């Protein structure tokens, strides 16, 4: 058996697909990205950390809104793709740094905002990463978490985690909203009301982004075909395998601190 670390899974999965994530239509637009841009525009001169930057879409939105941005990710290949795209767009206030979300190499109170989008479900230790985000935020700073979330009902949760892991071995967990609130509060944040959306995953491009092996694709389709009607209805599973996911954006500030 050839076992690899979780970090190796993440780097292997995303390093080779960096360009696909930079150009992904699913990741490049959305109400959540618009909201992030609006928030940053309300923070003139902000220093921003894009935590788990992936294809860099949060970094691009924040830089276009006037912030100085540090794009931070495990994958050197992903960071290189982000730097190249930033240069192509003429966004000069983006720097890149490599590392894990749980061990941020930045001093305390270094950023006005920490932003993370579609990344946390790959982190091995979300509470540790949130504690790090709290540490590097300035007083009165803003944390924005956007990610796919799991439904509260176990039947739906189990289906989602199964298909996610079959598609991508670096997947850890899509957390429930209740889990997010508990983790944020434990890290010292007061979370606001989630902004919910339901992005559609077009099946062919969804598996192509992760180069999912044919055997795993077949297993996902088998799970979809045998899914109880409650699962099929919630995820709006289509004949070709395309389906809807649940996503939220949560704005949070350290307890007792006003913006």
**Model pLDDT for residues 14-25, shown as the tens digit of each residue:** 545 555 544 444
* pLDDT for 22: 47
Closest CA to 102 of 125, 73, 80: 125
In the numeric block, the tokens 């050839």 are attached to 2
**Model pLDDT for residues 38-53, shown as the tens digit of each residue:** 999 999 999 999 999 9
Please tell me the number of Cα atoms within 13 Å of 64 on its side-chain side: 16
pTM comes to: 0.88
* pLDDT for 24: 46
Instruction: Encode the chain (259 residues) as per-residue pLDDT tens digits.
Output: 555 555 554 555 554 555 554 444 444 547 899 999 999 999 999 999 999 999 999 999 999 999 999 999 999 999 999 999 999 999 999 999 999 999 999 999 999 999 999 999 999 999 999 999 999 999 999 999 999 999 999 999 999 999 999 999 999 999 999 999 999 999 999 999 999 999 999 999 999 989 999 999 999 999 999 999 999 999 999 999 999 999 999 999 998 655 5
118 near 54, Cβ under 8 Å?
A: yes
Contacts of 237 (CB under 8 A, 6+ apart): 224, 227, 231, 243
* pLDDT for 25: 46
Backbone angles phi, psi at 215, to 5 degrees: -65, -40
Rounded to the nearest 10 degrees, what angle do helices 76-89 and 6-15 cross at? 40
163 near 223, Cβ under 8 Å?
A: yes
* pLDDT for 11: 56
Enumerate long-range contacts of 64-67, CB under 8 Å, 24 or more apart.
64/37, 64/89, 64/91, 65/37, 65/38, 65/40, 65/41, 66/40, 66/41, 67/40, 67/43, 67/93, 67/112, 67/113
């Amino acid at each position: 058996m050839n076992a690899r670390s979780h970090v190796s899974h993440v780097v292997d999965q995303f390093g080779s697909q960096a360009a696909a994530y930079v150009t992904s239509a699913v990741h490049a637009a959305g109400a959540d990205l618009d909201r992030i841009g609006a928030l940053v525009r309300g923070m003139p001169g902000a220093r921003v950390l894009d935590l788990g930057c992936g294809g860099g879409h949060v970094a691009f939105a924040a830089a276009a809104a006037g912030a100085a941005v540090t794009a931070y990710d495990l994958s050197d290949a992903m960071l290189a793709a982000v730097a190249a795209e930033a240069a192509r767009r003429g966004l000069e206030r983006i720097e890149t740094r490599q590392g894990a979300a749980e061990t941020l190499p930045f001093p305390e109170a270094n950023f006005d905002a920490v932003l993370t989008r579609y990344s946390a479900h790959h982190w091995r230790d979300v509470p540790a990463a949130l504690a790090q985000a709290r540490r590097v935020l300035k007083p009165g700073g803003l944390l924005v978490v956007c990610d796919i979330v799991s439904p509260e009902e176990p039947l739906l949760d189990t289906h989602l985690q199964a298909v996610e892991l079959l598609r991508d071995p670096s997947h850890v967990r899509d957390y429930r909203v209740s889990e997010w609130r508990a983790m944020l509060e434990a890290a010292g944040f007061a979370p606001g009301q989630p902004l919910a959306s339901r992005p559609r995953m077009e099946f062919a491009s969804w598996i192509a982004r992760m180069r999912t092996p044919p055997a795993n694709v077949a297993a996902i389709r088998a799970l979809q075909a045998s899914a109880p009607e409650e699962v099929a209805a919630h995820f709006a599973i289509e004949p070709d395998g395309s389906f809807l996911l649940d996503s939220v954006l949560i704005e949070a500030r350290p307890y007792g601190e006003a913006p």
